[in-house]
Structure 1
Amino acid sequence: MRTVTDSIIARDSTDDTEVAIAAARAGADVVRDLYGRRLARIDKGAGDFATAADVAAEKAILGSLRAARPEDGVFGEEGGQQGAAGAARQWRVDPLCGTLNYAAGTMVVAVNVALRGGAAAVADPFSGEVFCTDGETAWVRDDDGDTRLAPTSATRLVDVNLDPPFPSAPGFRAVDLLARPRFAEHFRPRVVSSTLALAWVAAGKRAAYVTDGQDLSESVHFAAGIALCRAAGCVVTGVDGAPVGPGVRGLVAAADAGTHELLMSVIRG
Structure 2
Amino acid sequence: MLSANMNVMIKAARKAGRSLVKDFREVENLQVSVKGAGDFVSRADREAERIIKEELRGARPNYGWLGEETGEEAGEDPTRRWIVDPLDGTTNFLHGLPHWAISIALEHKGEIVAAVIFDPAKDEMFVAEKGGGAFMNDQRLRVSSRGKMIESIFATGVPFGGRGTLPATLQDLARLMPLTAGVRRWGAASLDLAYVAAGRYDGYWERGIFPWDVAAGILMVREAGGFAEGLREGDHVLESGRIVAANATIFDTFAKVIRARD
Question: Normalising to structure 2: TM-score of the pair?
Answer: 0.82
Number of residues of Structure 1 aligned to a counterpart in Structure 2? 241
* Structure 2 segments unaligned to the other structure (5+ residues): 31-35
Residue 222 (structure 2) pairs with residue 230 (structure 1): yes
Cα distance in structure 2, aligned partners of 1:84 and 1:252: 30
Displacement of 1:223 in angstroms is 0.6
Cα distance in structure 1, aligned partners of 2:77 and 2:254: 39
Cα distance in structure 2, aligned partners of 1:193 and 1:231: 23
Q: Which has the higher helix share?
A: 2
Tell me what 2:115 maps to.
Answer: 120
Please give the residue correspondences for 1:170-181 in structure 2 after superposition, counting only pairs within 5 Å: 173-180=168-175
| Cα displacement string for residues 217-256 of structure 1 (whole angstroms, at most 9, x for unaligned residues) | xx11111111211222211112223353476451001022
Please give the residue correspondences for 1:91-110 in structure 2 after superposition, counting only pairs within 5 Å: 91-110=82-101
RMSD: 2.5
Cα distance in structure 1, aligned partners of 2:208 and 2:87: 19
Change (3 A) 1:101 1:245: closer
Change (3 A) 1:28 1:63: same
Residue 25 (structure 2) pairs with residue 36 (structure 1): yes
Tell me what 2:45 maps to.
Answer: 54
Question: Pick from 22, 40, 55: which aligns with 1:64?
Answer: 55
Cα distance in structure 2, aligned partners of 1:40 and 1:240: 39
| Cα displacement string for residues 89-148 of structure 1 (whole angstroms, at most 9, x for unaligned residues) | 210110000000100010111100111132110000111111111122333343xxx111
Residue 150 (structure 2) pairs with residue 158 (structure 1): no
Displacement of 1:264 in angstroms is 2.1
Residue 205 (structure 2) pairs with residue 210 (structure 1): yes
Cα distance in structure 1, aligned partners of 2:125 and 2:82: 17
Cα distance in structure 2, aligned partners of 1:106 and 1:91: 27
Cα distance in structure 2, aligned partners of 1:240 and 1:88: 26
| Runs of 4+ residues deviating >6 angstroms | none
Displacement of 1:263 in angstroms is 1.3
Cα distance in structure 1, aligned partners of 2:68 and 2:179: 38
Tell me what 1:8 maps to.
Answer: none
SS of the aligned residue for 1:204 comes to coil
Question: Normalising to structure 1: TM-score of the pair?
Answer: 0.80
Contact 1:92 1:115 in 2 (8 A): yes
Tell me what 1:242 maps to.
Answer: 234
Displacement of 1:212 in angstroms is 0.8
* Structure 1 segments unaligned to the other structure (5+ residues): 1-10, 43-48
Cα distance in structure 2, aligned partners of 1:223 and 1:64: 19
Tell me what 1:261 maps to.
Answer: 252
Change (3 A) 1:92 1:50: farther
Contact 2:37 2:94 in 1 (8 A): no
Change (3 A) 1:103 1:150: same
Change (3 A) 1:244 1:19: same
Tell me what 1:84 maps to.
Answer: 75
Tell me what 2:33 maps to.
Answer: none
